[in-house]
Amino acid sequence: MEEVFVTDVVSPLWTLLSVADREVLRRTGTRHDHPAGTQIMREGDRSTSAMVLLAGRAKVLASSADGHQCILAVRRAGDLVGEMSAIDGLPRAASVIAIDRVRLLRIPAEQFNGVLATCPAIAHAVLRVVCGRLRAASERRAELVGSTAAQRLHVFLLDLAKQYGMPAGDGIAITLPLSQEEIAASISASRRAVVRALHSLRSDAVIATGRHQITILRPDALLG
């Protein structure tokens, strides 16, 4: 499988590193391949390795207060995952599940922290990634305050389109295996509210839906 590196709203770690720094991480880790659907990390586990996705996509999920799975992010080639437990030694805060066949570089916590202590450029790149994710999470929380379920769904779809959308005619196609339950938990809404909001958007020709795909036909209609 080829290593393909992509841009993102928060720059993937790999794109922030020099060729020499990438080689440092390669030497400290081991490569692993996981088929689609594999649980790469489990929320609450005591494993502490950090991982860099070299190819494929994975979704990051955490349990909401009512026990549903909430989508925190979708990570792609070049992205870092598992860095928090590698640094603080605490249990995993989220689960990571392969969407496609994933190739990753697994770096044991001791080696990962050793690299951060001795390679300032890599440490700075990791800090940039973590800060970018915290900033994005704060912005999302602010957008959700005082809004309706439909408005939160609009923000969620626009965020997915911005990060993972691909041109599809005059629209933007989001191809991800997201269930209505996962979407509902991610925007703090009931599944029924999500079903109603999606139906309304389809009826107004704002979106079209298919298996594992939502196409935004009129992005402007989701603004405001």
Within the chain, residue ranges assigned H as helices are 19-28, 83-88, 109-118, 120-144, 149-164, 180-186, 191-203
If one looks up domain 148-222 in CATH, what number appears?
Answer: 1.10.10.10
- DSSP-derived letter for residue 56 is S
Return the closest-CA partner of residue 175 out of 220, 221, 217, 215: 215
Cα–Cα distances in angstroms (integers) from residue 180 to residues 14, 69, 74, 183, in the given order:
32, 11, 16, 5
CATH 2.60.120.10 domain locations along the chain: 13-143
**For the stretch 28-42, what's the b/e string if a residue is b when 16 or more beta carbons lie within 10 angstroms of its beta carbon?**
bbeeeebeeeeebbe
One digit per residue, the tens of pLDDT, for the chain of length 224 reads 333 333 344 578 999 999 999 999 999 999 999 999 999 999 999 999 999 999 999 999 988 777 778 888 889 999 999 999 999 999 999 999 999 999 999 999 999 999 999 999 999 999 999 999 888 878 777 766 778 999 999 988 998 898 888 998 888 999 988 888 888 888 888 899 999 999 999 999 999 998 889 999 999 999 86
Q: Which two tokens stand for residue 41?
A: 């990390």
* First and final C-alpha spacing in the chain: 42
User: pTM of the prediction?
Assistant: 0.79
What homologous superfamily is domain 13-143 in, according to CATH?
A: Jelly Rolls (2.60.120.10)
213 neighbors 207 (Cβ within 8 angstroms): no
Torsion angles phi and psi, residue 97, rounded to 5: -125, 130
Q: Which two tokens stand for residue 63?
A: 């349990």
pLDDT score, position 140: 73
pLDDT score, position 67: 73
pLDDT score, position 9: 46
How far is 93 from 91, CA to CA, in rounded Å? 6
135 neighbors 16 (Cβ within 8 angstroms): no
pLDDT score, position 2: 33
**DSSP conformation letters of 79-127:** -EESHHHHHH-PPPSSEEEESS-EEEEEE-HHHHHHHHHH-HHHHHHHH
Non-local CB neighbours of 198 within 8 Å, separated by 6+ positions: 153, 180, 207, 209
